[in-house]
Amino acid sequence: MTQTATPIALALDDVTFRRGDQTIIPGLSVTVRRGEHWALLGPNGAGKSTLMSLVGAVAHPSSGTVRILDSQIGRVELQALRRRIGHVNPRHPLRSPLTVQDVVLSGLTGSVDLPPRWRADADELDHATRLIELFGLGGKAEKRWPTMSQGERGRALIARALITDPELLLLDEPSTGLDIGAREQLLETLDLLAVTRPELTWLLVTHHLEELPTTTTHAMLLTRGQLVAAGPVGEALTSRAVTETFGYPIEVVEGDGRWAARTGRTAIAGRV
């Protein structure tokens, strides 16, 4: 019996991105299938933010083809495509003292603050309540942004990103500013998503192997805009590849689905 291939969520084919006379991504090809959970790792200046702008339908490639959820950038109405993509940015620029509930509901309007005359309907309020409870914020729906811990903010932002039922979730360094306890809560939240939303595809950007959820299925390593490795996480996250990516001898350690990095001469010797 012939198996049908899992549909593609993202496909970049020989993508180049230039800003002025600087080439940030010099020709990148990678395919992400639906339901996969990818980690994107690389040093500062590797091109991770540029790549996230491309797959978030925010930027256009200078050349090459970017396909997102069966739509090709340059041949699709971008606002409609963006509504199918959820974003989690720990540097969310909120200044108003919104409640947890309002932060989550702002995902429906795609705005930082809620529009003055906008009101959620009963179904939207129910959906927000379910997400708030799912991510361990039940009883805190009226807690306001300035008094929330970084961990609570992170979980609220994930709920915000999911309220539109996106097909693709982009997590841009979601553990930024979290202490160890809050980080572990966040990773448990992401692992929970793999159970409650198994069809959801996500791409998580981080500098640290310790910040990868156990449900990470794939990884891509990027340096100077070029792929060092991309594929199933156990094949891509090798000591050799991580050492090349970060330009420093790193030994990669894995146990019970969690990853860690440590310095060591074994990495120099190419141990995998």
* Region 16-34 average pLDDT: 94
Higher pLDDT, 158 or 4: 158
Please give the pLDDT value at position 267.
46
The CATH classification number of 1-84+166-233 equals 3.40.50.300
99-134 pLDDT per residue, tens = 999 999 999 888 888 888 888 899 999 999 999 998
Would you call 150 exposed, middle or buried from its count of C-beta atoms within 10 A (0-12, 13-18, 19+)? middle
The letter for the amino acid at 182 is A
Q: What are the CA-CA distances from residue 15 to residues 90, 92, 141 (Å)?
A: 27, 28, 43
pLDDT of the residue at 29: 96
Strand pairing of 85-88 and 168-172?
Answer: parallel
Among candidate residues 39, 87, 93, 49, the one with its CA nearest the CA of residue 209: 39
d(CA 23, CA 35): 31
Contacts of residue 197, Cβ cutoff 8 Å, sequence gap at least 6 = 162
Residue 20 has pLDDT above 60, yes or no: yes
What percent of the chain has a predicted confidence (pLDDT) above 90?
61
Mean local confidence (pLDDT), 161-172: 93
Q: What is the pLDDT of residue 203?
A: 96
CB atoms within 10 A of CB 124: 14
Tens digit of each residue's pLDDT (9 = 90 or more) over 36-45: 999 999 999 8
pLDDT digits (tens, 9 = 90+) for 45-79: 899 999 999 999 989 999 999 999 989 998 888 88
Cα–Cα distance list, 234 to 15, 214, 259, 265 (Å): 25, 12, 10, 21
The residue extents of the domains of the chain are 1-84+166-233, 92-165
Q: What is the pLDDT of residues 172-224, one digit of tens each?
A: 988 888 889 888 988 988 998 888 889 999 999 998 999 999 999 999 999 99
Is there a contact between 221 and 231 (Cβ–Cβ < 8 Å)? no
The pTM assigned to this predicted structure is 0.89
